[in-house]
Amino acid sequence: MSIQRADASRADLKSMLPAEIEAFVAELGEPSYRARQIFDWVHNKGVAEIDEMTNLSKSLRTALGEVAFVTRLRLVAQRESQTGQAVKFLFEVPTGERIESVLIVDGARRTVCISSQVGCPLDCKFCATGRMGLVRNLTPGDILDQLIQVSAYAHERGERVTNVVMMGMGEPLLNYDAVVRALYLMRQTEGVGLGGRRITVSTAGYVPGIRKLAHEELNVGLAISLNATTDAVREELMPINRRFKIDDLLEVAREFHQLRGYGVTFEYVLMDGVTDSDEDAVRLAQLTADVPCKINLIPYNELGSESDFRRPSQARLKAFYRALEGAGAEFTVRESRGRDIDAACGQLFDNQEAAVAAH
Ligand code: SF4
pLDDT of residue 1: 55
Nearest CA to 171 out of 139, 235, 123, 219 is that of 123
Pocket test for ligand 1, best of 122, 175, 179, 210 (most atoms within 8 A of CB): 122
pLDDT of residue 96: 94
pLDDT in tens, 260-311: 999 999 999 999 999 999 999 999 999 999 999 999 999 998 765 567 899 9
Indicate the residue among 25, 51, 69 that finishes a domain: 69
Whether residues 101 and 182 share a domain: the answer is yes
Which structural domain range is residue 91 located in?
74-341
Cβ atoms of 126 and 309 closer than 8 Å? yes
345 catalytically annotated: yes
Cβ atoms of 348 and 355 closer than 8 Å? yes
The CB of 246 under 6 Å from ligand 1? The reply is no
pLDDT of residue 357: 40
The CB of 204 under 6 Å from ligand 1? The reply is yes
Whether residues 65 and 78 share a domain: the answer is no
Whether residues 127 and 228 share a domain: the answer is yes
Whether residues 98 and 227 share a domain: the answer is yes
- Using CA positions, which residue lies closest to atom 2 of ligand 1? 359
The one-letter amino acid at 59: S
pLDDT of residue 203: 96
Could you tell me if residue 350 is inside a domain? no
Could you tell me if residue 356 is inside a domain? no
124 catalytically annotated: no
The catalytic position among 30, 100, 267, 302 is 100
CATH code (residue 38)? 1.10.150.530
Q: Which residues of the chain have pLDDT under 70?
A: 1-8, 303-306, 336-359
pLDDT of residue 2: 47
Cβ atoms of 139 and 127 closer than 8 Å? no
Whether residues 160 and 305 share a domain: the answer is yes
The CB of 267 under 6 Å from ligand 1? The reply is no
The CB of 132 under 6 Å from ligand 1? The reply is no
Number of domains present in the structure of the chain: 2
* Dist. CA 112 → ligand 1 center (Å): 17
Indicate the residue among 41, 69, 97 that finishes a domain: 69
Whether the full predicted model's pTM is greater than 0.85, yes or no, is: yes
Cβ atoms of 20 and 3 closer than 8 Å? yes
Residue-wise burial string across 111-145, b where 16 or more C-beta atoms lie within 10 A, e elsewhere = bbbbbbbbbbebbbbbbbbbebebbebbbbbbbbb
HEC string for 186-242 = HHCCCCCCCCHHHEEEEECCCHHHHHHHHCCCCCCEEEEECCCCCHHHHHHHCHHHH
